[in-house]
Structure 1
Amino acid sequence: MDLIDTLVELIDMRSFSNLWFWIALAVVWSSASHWVLGVPIDLVYRAGRKGGQAERDLEDLVRVNVNRMLYITEVSGVWLLGFGCFILSGLFVLGLFYDVEFAQAVFLLSFPLTLVGLVSLATAIRIEREQITGADLRKALVRCRLYIQMIGTIAIFVTAMWGMFQNLRLGFLG
């Protein structure tokens, strides 16, 4: 094999048969589950066990991230929503109607992450509106993480089924 063939095989656009796609999928969902509202989940559990400074650190970090998220939403939320819908609909059309496998893979990665963003935003709004602190804050963050894990589980399952379908379909056709 020459250099061009090696590069083409390394940057294969057939995502569902590429190991790098599945590694990226695992890393994305592992990270999404670990960082809840920009706070590592181990900090949430440590604050529950130790209290004191760990609890204050958690509350400060959540306050900073919630304020940041709500400010971004207030300033450019409509633009982000429009741009996100444009990108997702473009990926959907390219993937489903034009059968671009790379667009299908990116859509199956990005669409559930938008749901995670909405769950996180709803949690941030609730934390800000109700001024949640202490044990109730930890409970809200753990509940948010549970919802993220549920979305991730469904997304991984759907992506795996679609990927197997694509690989079998392309294996039989060519």
Structure 2
Amino acid sequence: MDWYNSIFELIDMRSFSNLWFWIALAVGWSTASHWIIGVPFDMVVRARRTGGQAMVDLQDIVRVNVNRMLYINHLSGMWLLGVICFVLSTLAVLGFYYFVEFAQAVFLIGFPMSLVGLVNLAGARRIRAEDLQGVDLIKRLNRCRIYTQIIGMVSIFVTALWGMYQNLSIGVLG
């Protein structure tokens, strides 16, 4: 008995029928929803509830992360945009024109995450432009989190539908 074939029969290595893909998708969206503009959301909750030193800490870490994000965007934003667009375009063509399932799976994670990156960048720009502090800062971070969660819900729904379609069509045809 060939142990290699036995293992690969037991563990399906296609993306959408692989448990590890769905775990990675869940962990990715959970992480994206928890870290808003590089700030853990528990700090936002603690600052809203207790104020005082927790609010000062939140404002400091937001200031540092906003400055960092905007510096990187200013320094190499166009290069990053070009590389990200190239990678996503390549994945889309490989996945949906040439039917490479792995490329489809990576695209269905990467494209919505790039939208989350844009939400975070827009939030950082707004925080800096309006010099948000205190309750207004917390409202902006909450709004960024809600947008991230909406993108995540739509993304998970579309990925689940596409994954079910792929699994059913492979099961019928294969």
Question: If the TM-score is normalised by the length of the shorter chain, which range does it land in?
Answer: over 0.9
1:76-100 deviation digits (Å, cap 9, x = unpaired): 0000000000000000000001000
**RMSD, aligned α-carbons:** 1.5
Distance 1:137 1:104, change over 3 A: same
Residue matched to 2:60: 60
Deviation at 1:14, TM superposition (A): 1.2
Q: Counterpart in 1 of 2:30?
A: 30
Aligned position for 1:102: 102
Letter in 1 for 2:39: V
Match of 2:71 in 1: 71
Q: 2: distance between equivalents of 1:14 and 1:71?
A: 40
Q: Tell me, which stretches of 5 or more residues in structure 1 are unaligned?
A: none
Percent identity reads 67
- Do the aligned partners of residues 11 and 62 (structure 1) sit closer, same or farther apart at CA in structure 2, a change above 3 Å counting? farther
- Matched with 2:111 is 111
Equivalent in the alignment of 1:135: 135
Distance in 2 between residues matched to 1:21 and 1:76, nearest whole Å: 31
Report how many residues are paired: 174
TM-score by length of 2: 0.95
Within 1, Cα distance between the matches of 2:143 and 2:10? 40
1:24-47 Cα deviation digits (max 9, x unpaired): 000000000011011111110110
| TM-score normalised by L of structure 1 | 0.95
- Per-residue CA deviation, residues 125-166 of structure 1 (Å, 9 max, x unaligned), is 000111101000000000100000000000000000000000
Query: Partner of 1:163 in structure 2?
Result: 163
